[in-house]
Amino acid sequence: MTAFVESPLQLLCAVEAHAAGHAGARTRVLARADVPALTAGIDAVRALGLPAGLDVEPAPAPRRLPEDTVVVGDPFSGAFQAALLRAPRPPERLVVVDDGLATLDLVRRVLTGSPLVRLTAPPDPLRYGLGALAARRLRRVVAAGRLTLCTTIPLDDDALVGLRGLGVDVRPHDFAWLRSRPQRNAPDEATVVVGSALVADGLVHADRYAAWVRGIAADGPVRYVPHRRHDPLVAALLERLPGVTVDEPGAPVEIRLRGLRPGQRTVMLPSTSAVTLSRLLAPRGVVVAPHAVPDAWWTDRATPELRRHLGRTHALATRAAAESAASGASGVSARGTAAGPLRPGRPASVASRA
């Protein structure tokens, strides 16, 4: 079995899929070599001790997909779509693992048959055409009952019924392999801000974002963990703020922060991290607090559809926390583990009372 991954989260979820037996007895994970953050991701998962039968190595983007079982993290990727279309036939089985909230958009497009073009993509007839052809080939995989979705994102009942009605094998996971690994050191600060890619992607104004972090630091020391797609100028500004310690981008936050203790909290703008960290941390009594983006923060590049899509984060994080707490037998109730949207200006004090 072969897995192609292009981000640290995809890498981690590919390992989870293998450990759960969804990818076969042996899996060769090819991590896209031109994505710098994957180097730290590979080192991090290797340090945890890879499950038996799994190997990870950097590799160029594949020219064409093999014909056996293929694990992929981003069906919206142009590199993946080109490789899918160059192959003489679809793979024997396609296992899709999470690439953030894009999983929800993928589900919608599988159910509707829409082209595989991500929400943030600029209008481009050629890109739309590639996405349409890739969606057509993906529908052949679905129609043959050869698509597995291995996800930690909570799906609503209508989506589950629709996917299973099409023959998609949906396999939820809660990072069982990662939770089984020995704990590692975590930040000592009471508050950890998980950085967002929304600034680097030009979707949120940098000055409002920096002011938000400054407001959190006014209530006490903060550890800031940058997103792999971070704005260097914003990171440099945050390093100069009193009470803020800025980490280097590196291993996935799910690995870096899984050792947080009860009484600590994580704060972030809408992102997949709110959901994945809720899975990992909420049962242990760590507050995971996604912050709704005020309207004034958005730039003109953030479409209403994208804003609505990201706005689902809080509900998803709350549900993930509740599901994980219920299955964890830890005695920690889900209520209070995922705080509501935070008020701009003084978000840390609001989170502490949530």
Is the Cα dihedral 46, 98, 204, 128 positive or negative?
positive
Distance of alpha carbon 265 from alpha carbon 258, whole angstroms: 12
Model confidence pLDDT, tens digit, residues 95-108: 999 988 889 899 99
Structure tokens that stand for 201 in this block: 């992607």
Distance of alpha carbon 229 from alpha carbon 57, whole angstroms: 22
Which stretches of the chain score pLDDT less than 70?
Answer: 327-354
pLDDT at 328: 56
Write down the pTM of the prediction: 0.84
Cα angle, residue 197 at apex, residues 191 and 201 outer, rounded to 5°: 155
Fold of 183-353: Rossmann fold (3.40.50)
How many Cα atoms are found within 13 Å in the side-chain-facing hemisphere of 58?
11
Task: Say how many C-beta atoms besides its own lie within 10 A of residue 245's C-beta.
Answer: 17
Structure tokens that stand for 6 in this block: 């292009």
Structure tokens that stand for 319 in this block: 């549900």
Tell me, what amino acid is at 128?
Y
125 contact partners, CB below 8 Å, separation of at least 6: none
pLDDT at 45: 93
Tell me, what amino acid is at 272?
T
Task: Say how many C-beta atoms besides its own lie within 10 A of residue 264's C-beta.
Answer: 21
- Domains of the chain, by residue range, sit at 2-178, 183-353
76 contact partners, CB below 8 Å, separation of at least 6: 99, 102, 105, 106, 116, 117, 118, 121, 131
pLDDT at 352: 30
- With CA atoms as reference, report the closest residue to 66 among 27, 16, 15, 97: 27
pLDDT at 340: 32
